[in-house]
Structure 1
């Protein structure tokens, strides 16, 4: 079986919740999984010891987590050399016309402007965790909801994540791990065709 690194950056916990669900699926398939939250120094992560990578980052105010972006830029060559899945978590993905990877401007901009070329990408709607926001953040997010689609922001915590979609992405990763073990090569995926 494969040794997998699942690496993520999460601000309010939804990205962590998503990747932990995926970890269960991957480890249940018999793979050894190391789950690491990007915090502080990352120099001690030895990427060469892993057979595959699952990467995830949240988006806030239009940007992926800075620490995640720096890590990916420094290590893109090593990440691209093996099976590498990437997912982005943002509230914009709650909209039907922004819920596919090629439709999500945050994801497409990240891939277009960076040096990472993952095997497969996905975008998941995040969660609106009003109870964790300070007054300023609440007002700003309410304004963003109003401007972006004319709707009112939720008045309480609300999770938009499609858990079936999360499971399908993790299951596809497991299938490609099995394929990689047979063929010994990186497998391409339809979700890599991002403009």
Structure 2
């Protein structure tokens, strides 16, 4: 049985939701061949018991969390020697010209800051839920949405995640 570690770094929960979906789909597809362990970035110390490692991380105010970069640096060797992948989750990825690893500025900035070059990369659009944010985040995100011509009504709740795209990522994970 292949042991897959799926790590998430999530602020408002959409990245974790995507990771939970991935875990469920892998287990439904081939319970006997792959087992996914889901863990928060801050809870992972040892990667040695896993055959492959995948990380999903959200963007907050235009950046991935500093802890993500620290984790990657600390575990560089394991990430380079095992099948691995990375996906980034952001509201910017809702736009057709910013929804691939090659066209997403956050993904490109991430890749320039790290030495690890994941074999599998993807970007997923996130979730917009103004009422689920604190006051400060609500107004910052609303301002960003205004700049990017997104919804600014404070009652907006929209999930932009393309679940078929997530399914395609899962298929590639299982093939690795």
Is TM-score (shorter-chain normalized) higher than 0.5?
yes
2: CA distance between counterparts of 1:4 and 1:140?
Answer: 36
1: CA distance between counterparts of 2:139 and 2:146?
Answer: 11
**TM-score, normalization: structure 1?**
0.83
Alignment of 1:10-159 (within 5 A): 10-28=10-28, 29=30, 30=32, 31-39=34-42, 42=44, 45-148=45-148, 150-154=149-153, 155-159=155-159
**TM-score, normalization: structure 2?**
0.91
**Structure 1 residue 46 displacement after superposition:** 2.0
Gaps of 5+ in 2: none
Deviates more, 1:22-31 or 1:46-55: 22-31
Gaps of 5+ in 1: 177-195
The number of equivalent residue pairs is 172
**Structure 1 residue 78 displacement after superposition:** 0.9
1: CA distance between counterparts of 2:48 and 2:40?
Answer: 18
1:151-186 superposed Cα distances (whole Å, 9 cap, x missing partner) = 44243221100001001101111122xxxxxxxxxx
Q: Which runs of 4+ in 1 moved over 3 A?
A: none
Deviates more, 1:136-145 or 1:166-175: 136-145
**Structure 1 residue 26 displacement after superposition:** 2.2
